[in-house]
Amino acid sequence: MSAGPARRAVFLDRDGVLNRAIIRGGRPHPPSTPGELSILPGVPAALARLKAAGFWLVVVTNQPDVARGTQTLAGVEALHDILRTQLPLDDFRVCYHDAPVGCECRKPAPGLLLAAARAAHLDLGASFMVGDRWRDVAAGQRAGCQSIFIDYGYAEPQPHAPYLRAHSLHEAADLILTEPHPVAR
């Protein structure tokens, strides 16, 4: 029995894409508690448009604060439970490792995207990765997706081309839903 045609997906970083990142020293940080979690304007509508167009919506997020001992697994899951109830998301894939571990799931490695693609029969070549940091763009590129960089002007390295640039998930959804798709630069 055939699994049917592969689905298109939009892989979404969490902090800075779905919810407001907490900026310290020009760099983004995750919210620590449900009280700090704030869904960004336009996100519910952008996700609804993508879902209506048939995209599988997968959150792919690095949460190294668990390995560092400054956040708990339960704390991260509490934030995800809120996002699950308020947004039309299909899956969450999380790397809890810190950078020195060298795992295959921590972005910029593509492991989270590849695992989601295997589990949900996703066509990576017809899918998109949306993130606000160079690691997100690189993970999408390595997985074979078209990457969209939401540029907030953080004080950190910029991604390497090719990628599309947006300033919000709303703008990223516009790019994704444009036929034919714009050419990445």
Positions annotated as catalytic residues are 13, 15
DSSP secondary structure code for residue 71 in this structure: S
Compute the distance between CA of residue 14 and CA of residue 150 in angstroms, rounded to an integer.
12
The answer to whether 22 and 54 have CB atoms below 8 angstroms apart is no
Residue with tokens 């900026």: 23
Compute the distance between CA of residue 36 and CA of residue 20 in angstroms, rounded to an integer.
9
DSSP secondary structure code for residue 19 in this structure: B
